[in-house]
């Protein structure tokens, strides 16, 4: 897989773990060091322990709306890979940054921030990694 394709696969795994409420998978996706997370409306959480505690609460919450990702854009720069995408949650749209670092043979999350969009954007076709033509 190209860097972009593997990065997009890691991003898909993040949303699958979210949708399935799989905290073990979510934990494995997050890096060990230098991690930070900003959920919509929340202050910044810094450090693996605080970040995973927040996901434990969110994934256990029975009122949590399902989340659908779309309009993914991948930006790879060396061992750093960002995916910018739209999250549709309960009729509202957010724009998310999922920042991964390639370490130990896998893309691990080091940063997530999601913020509300003023306008729900049109859906765009899935991005085709450039190296696949």
Query: What residue ranges bind a copy of itself (CB under 8 A)?
Result: 33-34, 36, 38, 40-44, 46, 73, 75, 77, 80, 82, 84, 86, 95, 97, 99, 101, 110-111, 113-119, 121
CB of 33 to a copy of itself, least distance (A): 7
Using the minimum distance from each CB to a copy of itself, give the nearer residue, 15 or 21: 15
CB of 106 to a copy of itself, least distance (A): 17
Q: Is the distance from CB of 31 to CB of 109 less than 8 angstroms?
A: yes
Give the whole-angstrom CA distance, residue 27 versus residue 131.
30
Give the whole-angstrom CA distance, residue 94 versus residue 119.
9
CB of 39 to a copy of itself, least distance (A): 9
Phi (first) and psi of residue 86, to 5 degrees: -95, 135
CB of 80 to a copy of itself, least distance (A): 7
Using the minimum distance from each CB to a copy of itself, give the nearer residue, 23 or 84: 84
Q: Is the distance from CB of 45 to CB of 51 less than 8 angstroms?
A: yes
Using the minimum distance from each CB to a copy of itself, give the nearer residue, 20 or 120: 120
**What sign results for the dihedral spanned by CA atoms 132, 8, 94, 125?**
positive
């Amino acid at each position: 897989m190209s860097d972009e394709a593997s990065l997009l696969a890691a991003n898909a795994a993040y949303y699958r773990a979210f949708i399935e409420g799989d905290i073990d998978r979510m934990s494995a996706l997050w890096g060990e060091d230098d991690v930070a997370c900003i959920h919509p409306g929340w202050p910044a959480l810094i450090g693996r322990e605080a970040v995973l505690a927040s996901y434990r609460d969110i994934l256990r919450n029975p009122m949590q709306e399902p989340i659908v990702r779309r309009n993914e854009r991948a930006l790879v720069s060396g061992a750093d890979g960002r995916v910018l995408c739209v999250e549709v949650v309960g009729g509202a749209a957010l724009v998310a940054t999922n920042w991964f670092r390639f370490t130990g043979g896998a893309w691990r999350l080091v940063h997530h921030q999601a913020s509300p969009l003023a306008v729900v954007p049109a859906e765009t076709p899935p991005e085709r990694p450039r190296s696949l033509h």
